[in-house]
Amino acid sequence: MDSRVDDPLILAIESSCDETSASVLCGRTVLSNVIATQKIHEKYGGVVPELASRAHQAKIVPVVDQALQEAGIDKSQLHAVAFTQGPGLMGALLVGSSFAKSLALGLNIPLIGVHHMEAHILAHFIRNKEERYPQFPFLCLTVSGGHTQIVHVKSASEFEIVGETIDDAAGEAFDKAAKVLGLPYPGGPMIDRLAATGDPSAFHFTTPRLPDFNYSFSGLKTNLLYFLREKNAADATFIERELPNICASYQRTITEYLTSRFFAAAGNLKIKTLALAGGVSANSELRRRVLEYGDKNGYDVFIPAFEFCTDNAAMIGISAHYKYLEGRFCDLRATPSASMKM
Ligand code: KG4
Ligand code: ZN
């Protein structure tokens, strides 16, 4: 007999990269969403996989405890446990998946494996005050530290990649630029902040035109590196003096490149609902560009709340919610996958 309920209490765990996060959802309502960001990577200018795994191990128990406590839920009340199955760092994923499996086994409740990028997209369906959610089908620009994809979202379980990066992700383009500019990791938020006082047309960087709706970001960081080397050779104070202008120009290049392909894909597919997802969707200029375009051209635009842009377990929980309703559970043999396909 099927004992599934309509508004399940789901504990979700996210551990794909450098955030250890746990969240409890009741139906589509988030009861708690605890995120412990690993500070240890800052001094290395990027995530060190082995250190990430160890930090997840140290934090997973207190983070899950806190999520249950803030939700006011005892673990015996849970209907399912969800975890990020991939893509992500293998050692980091293993910590979350092993923990989720043990808990599901101990409580004798279903286990749900979630695709991290699908979860970024489905974060739009977390219950919000405005009760405003995208209608299917919609086109989502999913931009994070590891991915850059234009996704045709046909339902909560059907995703088609229309275009994607052939090398670096948009988030990496921000993070690598920050590194050469001497800014801390992660670079995106810092560049965003500095760009606010800079002139976006001060400098010009180039991006390649690829066929279809694909992107390439690896040349852009090299372009910046050579530009800085040349300027620095002539004037050692160049970066210091021009930092806001460099950030604003670099950010304009990335966001113009991202949105031009995204809008072209929407026109091509005749889709009138646009959405942003992933850590880079926290970028103020990207948000502004998409909103402005939607306003001018009659598109419905959806941008996640800041707390659900960067990695968090609530998005894993909402994805698990839909899987739960369809009975898409996994068994204890499920293994995490570093490069899981959508
Ligand atoms: O989705 P996310 O939290 O983790 C991954 O799944 O990768 O995305 C992290 C990325 C980092 O590259 C970070 O620099 C970028 O999101 N990011 C931003 C901003 N906030 C975070 N990039 C540009 N502007 C921001 N405000
Ligand atoms: Zn992510």
Per residue in 260-292, pLDDT (tens digit) is: 999 999 999 999 999 999 999 999 999 999 999
> Residue 70 has which token pair?
């803030």
How many A from CA of 337 to the centre of ligand 2?
Answer: 15
How many A from CA of 48 to the centre of ligand 1?
Answer: 16
Please enumerate in sequence order all residues whose Cβ is within 8 A of that of 296, keeping only pairs 6 or more positions apart, or say none. none
How many A from CA of 151 to the centre of ligand 2?
Answer: 15
Gyration radius of the chain's alpha carbons: 20
Q: Which atom of ligand 1 lies closest to the CA of 19?
A: 3
Bond from prior residue into 137 cis (ω within 30 degrees of 0):
yes
Question: Distance between CA atoms of 88 and 18, rounded to whole angstroms?
Answer: 10
Question: Distance between CA atoms of 96 and 25, rounded to whole angstroms?
Answer: 17
Ligand closest to 18 (CA) is 1
pLDDT in tens, 146-176: 999 999 999 999 999 999 999 999 999 999 9
> Residue 82 has which token pair?
């969800």
169 CB within 6 A, ligand 1? no
pLDDT at position 48, please? 86
How many A from CA of 283 to the centre of ligand 2?
Answer: 14
pLDDT at position 40, please? 85
Is 0.85 topped by the overall pTM? Answer: yes
278 CB within 6 A, ligand 1? yes
Asked if 126 and 134 touch (Cβ cutoff 8 Å), the reply is: no
- State which of 140, 144, 252 you would mutate to test the pocket of ligand 1, scoring each by most atoms of that ligand within 8 A of its C-beta: 144
86 CB within 6 A, ligand 1? no
186 CB within 6 A, ligand 1? yes
**Between 187-195 and 284-297, two packed helices, what is the crossing angle to 10 degrees?**
70
- What is the mean predicted confidence (pLDDT) over 254-262? 98
Question: Distance between CA atoms of 342 and 338, rounded to whole angstroms?
Answer: 12
Task: Give the closest residue (by CA) to ligand 1 atom 13.
Answer: 188
